[in-house]
């Protein structure tokens, strides 16, 4: 199965940011996940109670075709 690199357009970034913001709203006020984008990667970091940012993961945006969440 071949896959192609999905471009990280401003629309894609906005959707990812919205999902992360919704998740952050359910966390205690002094905890947050912070996205950062570079090329085709989303870097996710976390801050807890005033501590420095801790890297969590690097996600590469790849897909073969659009996926429907409906079953």
Q: Assess contact for 33 and 23: CB atoms under 8 A.
A: yes
Q: Which of 18-22, 33-37, 59-63 has the lowest mean pLDDT?
A: 59-63
pTM of the model: 0.70
What number is the average pLDDT over the span 48-69?
A: 77
Q: What secondary structure, in 3-state letters, does the chain show?
A: CCCEECCCCHHHHHHHHHHHHHHHHCCCCCEEEEEEEECCEEEEEEEECCCCCEEEEEEECEECCCCCCCC
pLDDT tens sequence across 26-35: 999 889 999 9
Could you give the count of Cα atoms lying within 13 Å of 69 in the half-sphere of its Cβ?
A: 0
């Amino acid at each position: 199965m071949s896959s192609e690199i999905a471009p990280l357009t401003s629309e894609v970034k906005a959707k990812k940011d919205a999902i992360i913001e919704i998740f952050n709203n359910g966390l205690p006020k002094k905890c947050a996940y912070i996205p950062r984008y570079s090329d085709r990667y989303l870097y996710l970091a976390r801050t807890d109670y005033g501590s420095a940012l801790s890297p969590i993961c690097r996600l590469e945006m790849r897909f073969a075709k659009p996926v429907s969440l409906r079953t």
